[in-house]
Amino acid sequence: MVDATLALAEFDRWLKAHDFSDDENEERHFYDWLPRWYADPADRAAITATWDARFAERCKQRDREAAERQMAFDRETAEIKRQRAARDADAASAIWECTSDENEVDAYHAWWRSLDQPARDKFADGGSAVDYWYRTVGEPKYKAEAATTARREQEREQAERKRADLVEHLKDLAWARGEDAASLRAVAAWRRVYVDEMVFKLKEGTARDALQVADQALMAEIQASVDAIAAAKARNAQDPLLRAARGEQDEPVPPPLDLRAIVDRDAVARWLAAHREDLATFEAGRWRHQWNDPDGESKWIDYQWTQLDGFRIFGNVGEIQRQAARWTAYWAIEAKATAYPDAAAALHELGLKVLTGERHDTVDYGAWEFQPEKPPSEYIGDPDDDEPEQEPRTEGEIPRIRRPPSPARQRSKLIKRIESAIRKGYVTKTAIYDAVGGKRETVVELLRELVADGTIQEPDDDHGGYWLDGE
């Protein structure tokens, strides 16, 4: 009779030898092993009975161990839940210790609810959670909100001060019309700085006389600045060896007068709005010629608009243009207030809102563009060319052939263009060249000849550029 216990021990060694250590398939392995080693049915029955009893006991043991593990897991889960509840309760009280603002408390709870469980478990207690929220979320957020509120309050105060200053300035009619000394000085500097970027001519009258006086005073300032700089440099150049031996430092050379710093765009806008009728010619920019090919060998020239600083730029309203349009609307509103005394208070308030930019519906910004029509493309052929030149044409147009004009006719046309440019206010060499086009050497040489024969006059104290005698 077989010893069933020893047989099962032998089965366990077989399992180990074949690396069949998984309990789930142990029963299948047993019934595979048994017929290979024992052929006697009685032996098989005894071994199987012992196996069944051992297997049942092992199943019970596994069930007991699983129950114990589940109990341990449930205890651990309950402890985690208890700790989390305690932490949440601690955080709920800790946030009130941190702030008494209900909005901040609500913001903290919203932030806490947005976290997933692993993110919450990173905090050991409620205090650390509140501290983290305040440092990373609450404090920066409310600091930003406080900064925004402070900035808005500062902007409001600045707007109120600006409005109060404007109301005070409006009591001075000369300032409002740009006719006070500072405003005229700013306008004169503006003309000097941007002389090559605009056409600016005034009709004879008080406005022109006042601006000429301001311009002469500005030129005196410029000359005084130049003299001061030259004098300082001259003193520094005297006896350099002696001064070096004495250890004397060079005298500071004063900076040149900065005309751009003198330009006040609001002053220019006020003056323009009050003296628009005094403008004989005004173009807020220039049509500058450009060759149709990069190497400049083309006999045709086209024109490209160069915008004056402070006026329309790439479709946007420039600062001077904006302010001049507002001041123009303001003067129209003030005239209406004079005509309707019963509505004067409301109209005065509307005028102030227009000047401060609060109202735009009564302002015509487009009326202050001052851009003339684009000049047509011009033929500037070389009289030495034997080959005819072809005009630029639009798509679908039959090309026309034009032969170069004679030298005498070409010279006559160029002189007429130079005289026309000077009449329009193009009074410097660069401005005349940009307006006339052609070869620069030809234009400059012709200018010299016209000055020599008295057709045009050179710049002098009364004229800021070339001028025509008798005009």
| Residue 378 pLDDT | 66
**Between residues 340 and 104, which one has the greater pLDDT?**
340
pLDDT for 390 beyond 80: no
pLDDT for 237 beyond 80: yes
Q: What is the largest CA-CA distance in the chain?
A: 150
User: What is the spatial order of strands in the sheet that 300-307 belongs to?
Assistant: 285-291, 300-307, 378-379
pTM: 0.56
- Looking at domain 286-304+374-392+402-471, its CATH architecture is Orthogonal Bundle (1.10)
- Alpha-carbon gap, residue 93 to 38, rounded angstroms: 74
Q: Are 391 and 404 in contact (CB under 8 A)?
A: no
| Residue 366 pLDDT | 79
Q: Are 363 and 351 in contact (CB under 8 A)?
A: no
* Segment holding 418, helix H or strand E: helix 407-424
Q: Report pLDDT digits (tens) over 423-468.
A: 777 778 777 877 777 677 788 888 888 888 888 888 776 676 787 8
Q: Report pLDDT digits (tens) over 143-162.
A: 777 788 888 888 889 988 98
pLDDT for 243 beyond 90: no
- Alpha-carbon gap, residue 13 to 54, rounded angstroms: 16
Q: Is the dihedral of CA 288, 289, 292, 295 positive or negative?
A: negative
Helices (H), 38-138: 41-98, 102-114, 117-120, 126-133
The percent of residues in the chain predicted with pLDDT above 70, rounded, is 85
Tell which residue, 384, 389, 395, has the closest CA to residue 298: 389
Q: Bin 203: left if φ > 0, else alpha if -120 < ψ < 50, else beta.
A: beta
Q: Where are the domains of the chain?
A: 4-98, 286-304+374-392+402-471
Task: Indicate the pLDDT class of residue 369, thresholds 50, 70 and 90.
Answer: confident
pLDDT for 93 beyond 80: no
Q: What are the angstrom distances between the C-alpha of 82 and each of 74, 89, 235, 289?
A: 12, 10, 90, 85
Which three-class secondary structure state does DSSP give residue 223?
A: helix
Which three-class secondary structure state does DSSP give residue 204?
A: coil
- The arithmetic mean of pLDDT across residues 329-352, rounded, is 92
Which three-class secondary structure state does DSSP give residue 135?
A: helix
Question: Which of 126-135, 306-315, 354-363 has the least mean pLDDT?
Answer: 306-315
**Between residues 290 and 209, which one has the greater pLDDT?**
209
* CB half-sphere exposure, 361, CA atoms < 13 A: 1
pLDDT for 402 beyond 50: no
Residue 409, amino acid: R
| Residue 209 pLDDT | 93
What letter does residue 269 receive in the DSSP assignment? H
Tokens of residue 457, six digits: 């006059």
Other CB atoms within 10 A of residue 177 CB: 17
Q: What are the angstrom distances between the C-alpha of 363 and each of 176, 190, 315, 367, 443?
A: 17, 24, 17, 9, 43
pLDDT for 177 beyond 70: yes
Other CB atoms within 10 A of residue 239 CB: 11
Tokens of residue 160, six digits: 């109120």
